Amino acid sequence: MAMSKIPDKTQSDIAKQAKQLKGRLSIGDEAPIGSDFPSILQKLNIILLECPIKRTGSNSFSAIFCRTKVDGKDVMFLGVNTWDYYDRQLFAIAHELYHFLNPSQPHISRDDDFDDPIEKQADWFAAELLLPLQVLKTHVLDTFGKRDINEYSRPTLLRFIARLQCTWWIPYKSIIHRLYEADAINESTYQELFAVDERNSSGMYYRIGDATAHETFSLLNKQTKSCGTDSANLEVCLRNFEDGIISEEELYDGLQLFGRFPEDFGISFIDTDEDDEVEVRGAKDEC
């Protein structure tokens, strides 16, 4: 069976949330946002943490959202598994933004959460945030002149999907879900398209996507395996050290989480006497 649709009222409520979030961020409803997540998270004061965690089965880690209090202020973290393909990382970030808007206990997304009704809603929110359903319906109508596209050949549909993916930075299978939700394809077409191995570099879809927009398609299909956080977050850590809020050891340990050293940022620890007292000196810029 094809993916079941969530109730119309729930869809409407979630679509409003996605639109309101874009409005809060001064982003147009029809604007692709996949490439803007770093700046979006900064605007929302969410710290993005990237870590590659090798998948070990159906219960593998995808992403996490955590909200805590520090000195009476909200501090929010969003962690993403960079072992995933990049388009899946983006979808996972969008998914966690649903939990950001609907506060709960710290949330961890795993691959086997698909039967959880809240997780279905979060997935629908992520798809709506990345590619609004009404926008997709308009693209279908503008491209084919009709809403039902079941009669078109597989290459024609795959070319259309590849253009959507490279524009909106949303995973292939999520686009198939969206087309089904938009009533553009029936269950039979859904099953046929969903069975495509979109990561097979010698397959039809991959070759079409690569020819459509090589650089973008290659990025979306890359397991980035990056480890770190935004440079602005690292700067906060460095300034906390310079202001005496955290110790040398805490700075060192914190940077080590991301494979960095104080020296990478112009800070060195220098022994000054026999008692190994440590003086911190910032490296001077060369003229």
Domain count, the chain: 2
Tokens, residue 82: 């960079």
d(CA 218, CA 34): 15
- Residues 162, 255, single domain; the answer is no
3 within some domain: no
**Looking at the domain assignment, is residue 2 inside a domain?**
no
Tell me, yes or no, whether 287 lies in a domain.
no
| Residue 156 tokens, joined | 């024609």
Residues in the chain: 287
Q: Are 75 and 36 found together in one domain?
A: yes
User: Residue 285's pLDDT is what?
Assistant: 43
Tokens 């219960």 correspond to what residue? 59
Residue 225 within any structural domain of the chain: no
Q: 164 and 112 in one domain?
A: yes
Structural domain that includes position 147? 8-220
- C-alpha triplet 145, 172, 213: angle, nearest 5°: 80
| Amino acid at site 253 | D
- Same domain for 274 and 135: no
If asked whether residues 213 and 244 sit together in one domain, one would say no
Q: Per residue in 196-226, pLDDT tens?
A: 999 999 999 999 999 999 999 999 999 999 8
- What pLDDT was estimated at residue 256? 64
Residue 124 shares a structural domain with residue 171: yes
- Are 87 and 165 in contact by the 8 Å Cβ rule? The answer is yes
Q: Quick one: tokens of 67?
A: 């909200």
In terms of C-beta density within 10 A (0-12 exposed, 13-18 middle, 19 or more buried), how is residue 56 classed? exposed
pTM: 0.81
Domain shared by 28 and 170, yes or no: yes
- 81 beta partners: 51
Burial category of 133 from C-beta neighbours within 10 Å (exposed 0-12, middle 13-18, buried 19 and up): middle
149 and 277 share one domain: no
Residues 79 and 156 in one domain: yes
- The predicted pLDDT at position 245 comes to 72
* 14, 127: one domain: yes
Q: Which residue has the tokens 């900064």?
A: 42
Structure tokens at 189: 């077409």
Same domain, 37 and 76: yes
User: Which of 199, 220, 241 is at the close of a domain?
Assistant: 220
Strands 46-51 and 73-81: parallel
- Which parts of the chain register pLDDT below 50? 1-2, 272-287
Cα separation of 34 and 170, whole Å?
7
Sign (positive or negative) of CA dihedral 166, 172, 178, 182:
positive
Q: Please say whether the beta carbons of 219 and 86 come within 8 A.
A: yes
End residue of a domain, out of 220, 242, 274: 220
192, 220, 248 — which closes off a domain? 220
Residues 137 and 240 in one domain: no
Q: Give every CB contact of residue 271 below 8 A, 6+ residues apart in sequence.
A: 277, 278
